[in-house]
Amino acid sequence: MKIEALGIEHFYGHEKVLNGVDITITPGSFTAIIGESGSGKTTLLSILSTLLQPTFGNVQYDGKILSELGNIDRFRRTNIGFVFQFHYLISYLTLRENIALGAIEESRVDSLLESLGISNLSHRYSDEVSGGERQRAAIARALVNAPSVVFADEPTGNLDSKNALGVYELFREFSLQGTGFVVASHDKKIADYADVIIEMEDGVVKKVYK
Amino acid sequence: MITPLKALRKNRFKTSLIFVSMSVSIAAIFLISAISGGVVSMYSAMLKTDGDIIVTQKGIADTFFSDINRSLNDTVMNMVGVKESSVLILGAAPVDTLPIVGIYGVSENRFKSYSLKQGSIPSQGEVMLGSKIYETLKHPKTVTLSKKEFRVSGVFKSRIGFEDGGVVMNLVDAGELFHKSASIFLVSLNDLSQSDAVLKEVNLLSSEIEAKTTENFIDSYNQFKIIKTSSDVIGAMAFLMGILGIVSMMSMVVSDRKAEFGIMRSIGLSSSTIIFKLLSETLIIALAAYAVALGTSFGILELIENADKFQGYINGEITVTLMINVLIVSVVMALVGTFLPAFYASRIDPMSLIQRGGA
Ligand SMILES: Nc1ncnc2c1ncn2[C@@H]1O[C@H](COP(=O)(O)OP(=O)(O)OP(=O)(O)O)[C@@H](O)[C@H]1O
Ligand SMILES: [Mg+2]
């Protein structure tokens, strides 16, 4: 799915944090968004992934703006995955239940648990597993409906470098199978995995390269 | 149904708060409706015993104020279609240490409607006590009624609380006590189809009196309307308090769980699915609270009925209709109380929900 942001401006109250962003995410690509803290990465990612409505401008998905996509929740469920810096697993559900919560096809849950190497932990709760395992479960949740694109906001921010590399490897694996990734990160290593790097500064795109 | 139970267990503290406040509201609705319904139905039952038609003073608001000439009853008794007609004087007076007790002066032919437990029916200077008041006064041999002493001739049992906690005497004594000839006539008919004819005939008898079918009388009886209206008002207030309590607590719950709902939205669960999840959570609480409130209400009513202090006057009745009505009220209360905050949260962007709420 091709995603195009056109003239995005966003305000939190009176504070303008995105000041005219125009970018295109090509289908199946691995895009990295980098930039200093406060430059607007999270805000942009939220808007691209339909989790936040921009104050001005719009985002097109294969040429269609949000209001033309019909039920937005259903669109999000089938097309978009999101991985947060904090795992945000629901604490009263087991890892498996967390992943199955939004699953359209229950059958994918177990194969994902398997391929992410956490099938032996599937009946544990999030506070009973390690940080890296939690993040794997969160990634499985994002991938469960085989979305065309997964957005990840500092997915390795809470992990040590070994676990962080594991996450990037996982992304690469799924990326090779055709899932698009848009990853915001401070981590310079992300550049090794990305096809495109978008650099943000003070609410605008400073440059796009590679 | 597994998810709502897990969520409820996770949020134990607030779940219990909501549960307790709902139980209290529901029990309040039960009790006020049951007690007021009990009062109305007891009085109705008393009037309906051998009374298809009731005769009172014309235009009177309350049977206690009614004053009619008891000699008219002789004519009524001989009317075609009339099986029996008895005369009652209804009053209230202090009895021994009890500040206010229902006193019933009745004509001879009505004594047979009381089931005598011991002793005999009262002749002049004597009274017959309901079993409840007999117990309360600790088996007295005599009682003082408005400064006059009466011998206790017997004890009767009545399932009507007013009567069981009351004093029955003959018409002559009651007439002297309350300075009236009669309060009401209770007329029973051979055949209900004759009621129109009998009503007409009685109403022609004197311009001072008015005859109505007992059903009709009860429906239009002012005291009942007042009792019913006040109980409805108190019930509605309990209902509103319940809703407000649930709204405020569910707002806290929703606010605590913003991130959770934001996450659910981010993985594509629709707002309506999430609202539905929340509604099923409160519905479970509501049903549990209903069950507990029902049990508690039965218990409290049992206690009140047997408490000496109330002399059996308060006699709650939880009918099936009341149970169904209160069940509907409880469910509505839970659903409305939850829907408002849930709907409000559903209008917020998922990302804002996640950022504003802790996990
Ligand atoms: N919910 C919010 N309300 C108000 N201001 C916000 C909110 N979220 C972010 N901001 C502000 O908007 C600006 C951009 O924030 P954003 O989170 O998009 O930056 P970022 O590039 O993701 O930073 P970081 O690398 O620290 O995560 C910052 O100045 C931040 O303080
Ligand atoms: Mg950020």
- For B28-34, what is the mean pLDDT? 87
Pair (B28, B132) in one structural domain = no
A53 at B interface, C-beta within 8 A: yes
Q: Please tell me whether the interface predicted TM-score (ipTM) of this complex is above 0.90.
A: yes
Q: Name the nearest CA neighbour of B24 among B229, B239, B236, B231.
A: B239
Pair (B12, B144) in one structural domain = no
The residue that leads in pLDDT, B159 or B261, is B261
C-alpha count within 13 angstroms, C-beta hemisphere, residue A118: 30
Domain of B270 in residue numbering reads as 4-43+224-358
Pair (B186, B239) in one structural domain = no
pLDDT at B314: 64
**Which band of pLDDT confidence, cut at 50, 70 and 90, is reported for residue B310?**
low
**Which band of pLDDT confidence, cut at 50, 70 and 90, is reported for residue A33?**
very high
Using CA atoms, how far apart are residues A185 and A177, in angstroms rounded to an integer? 22
Q: Tell me the Cα Rg of chain B.
A: 28
Pair (B64, B201) in one structural domain = yes
Q: Are the beta carbons of A78 and B268 separated by less than 8 Å?
A: yes
Provide the terminal-to-terminal Cα distance of chain A, rounded to the nearest Å: 21
**Which band of pLDDT confidence, cut at 50, 70 and 90, is reported for residue B359?**
very low
Using CA atoms, how far apart are residues B85 and B75, in angstroms rounded to an integer? 10
Residues of B in contact with A97 (CB under 8 A): 3
Boundary-marking domain end, from B177, B206, B235: B206
Whether B278 is in a domain gets the answer: yes
**Angle formed by the axes of helices A131-143 and A107-115, nearest 10°:** 140
| CA diameter of chain A | 49
CA dihedral of residues A94, A99, A104, A108 (deg, nearest 10) = -110
Using CA atoms, how far apart are residues B167 and B319, in angstroms rounded to an integer? 28
Pair (B38, B85) in one structural domain = no
Q: Is the pLDDT of residue A12 over 90?
A: yes
For chain B, the domain total comes to: 2
To the nearest whole number, what is the mean pLDDT of chain B? 87
**Angle formed by the axes of helices B320-346 and B222-256, nearest 10°:** 30
Ranges of beta strands (E only) in chain B are: 53-57, 82-95, 98-106, 115-119, 126-130, 142-145, 148-157, 167-170, 184-189, 209-213
CA B271 to centroid of ligand 1, rounded, Å: 25
Pair (B312, B258) in one structural domain = yes
Please write the tens of the pLDDT for every residue from B199-255: 999 999 888 999 998 888 888 777 778 888 888 888 888 888 888 888 888 888 888
> Residue A60 to residues A6, A12, A50, A209, B69: CA-CA distances in angstroms?
8, 22, 10, 22, 92
The residue of chain B nearest to residue A90, with distances taken between CA atoms, is B260
Chosen for mutation from B15, B265, B266 (greatest number of chain A CBs closer than 10 Å) is B266
Whether B215 is in a domain gets the answer: no
Please write the tens of the pLDDT for every residue from B145-198: 988 999 999 999 887 777 888 999 999 999 999 999 999 999 999 888 888 999
Residues of chain B whose C-beta is under 8 A from some C-beta in A?
A: 3, 6-7, 9-10, 259-260, 262-271, 349-352, 354, 359
Whether B239 is in a domain gets the answer: yes
- What is the DSSP-derived secondary structure letter of residue A70? S
B349 Cβ partners below 8 Å, 6+ apart? A46, A51, A52, A53
**Domain A3-209: homologous superfamily in CATH:** P-loop containing nucleotide triphosphate hydrolases (3.40.50.300)
Using CA atoms, how far apart are residues B340 and B343, in angstroms rounded to an integer? 5
With vertex at residue B264, the alpha carbon angle to CA A65 and CA B278, rounded to the nearest 5 degrees, is: 120
Whether B219 is in a domain gets the answer: no
Three-class SS state of A36:
coil
Using CA atoms, how far apart are residues B313 and B160, in angstroms rounded to an integer? 9
Q: What percent of chain A has pLDDT over 70?
A: 100
Return the number of CB contacts < 8 Å for A and B: 64
CA dihedral of residues B59, B64, B66, B68 (deg, nearest 10) = 160
For chain B, what's the residue count?
359
Boundary-marking domain end, from B145, B173, B206: B206
Q: Name the nearest CA neighbour of A59 among A73, A70, A45, A71.
A: A45
**CB burial string B234-254: b at 16+ within 10 A, e below:** bbeebbeebbebbbebbbebb
3-state secondary structure B121-188: CCCCCEEEEEHHHHHHCCCCCEEEECCEEEEEEEEEECCCHHHHCCEEEEHHHHHHHHCCCECEEEEE
Please write the tens of the pLDDT for every residue from B94-131: 999 888 899 999 999 989 888 999 999 999 999 999 99
For the whole model, what pTM was predicted?
0.73
Using CA atoms, how far apart are residues B88 and B76, in angstroms rounded to an integer? 14
The residue that leads in pLDDT, B154 or B345, is B154
Cβ(B114)–Cβ(B46) below 8 Å = no
Q: Are the beta carbons of B264 and A102 separated by less than 8 Å?
A: yes
- Show the tokens assigned to A13: 């109250």
B278 CA to chain A: closest CA distance, Å?
Answer: 14
B285 CA to chain A: closest CA distance, Å?
Answer: 18
Whether B70 is in a domain gets the answer: yes
Please write the tens of the pLDDT for every residue from A111-157: 999 988 899 999 999 999 999 899 999 999 999 999 999 999 999 88
Burial class from Cβ neighbours inside 10 Å (0-12, 13-18, 19+) for residue B109 reads: middle
Using CA atoms, how far apart are residues B103 and B59, in angstroms rounded to an integer? 23
Cβ(B26)–Cβ(B290) below 8 Å = yes
CA A17 to chain centre: 20
B160 Cβ partners below 8 Å, 6+ apart? B42, B45, B46, B49
Burial class from Cβ neighbours inside 10 Å (0-12, 13-18, 19+) for residue A210 reads: exposed
Please write the tens of the pLDDT for every residue from B47-60: 777 788 999 999 87
- What is the DSSP-derived secondary structure letter of residue A130? -
pLDDT at B245: 83
Q: Are the beta carbons of B268 and A76 separated by less than 8 Å?
A: yes
- What is the DSSP-derived secondary structure letter of residue B92? E
Cβ(A153)–Cβ(A84) below 8 Å = yes
Q: Are the beta carbons of A71 and B9 separated by less than 8 Å?
A: no
- For B54-83, what is the mean pLDDT? 88
- For A183-208, what is the mean pLDDT? 91
For tokens 């999030």, the residue is A126
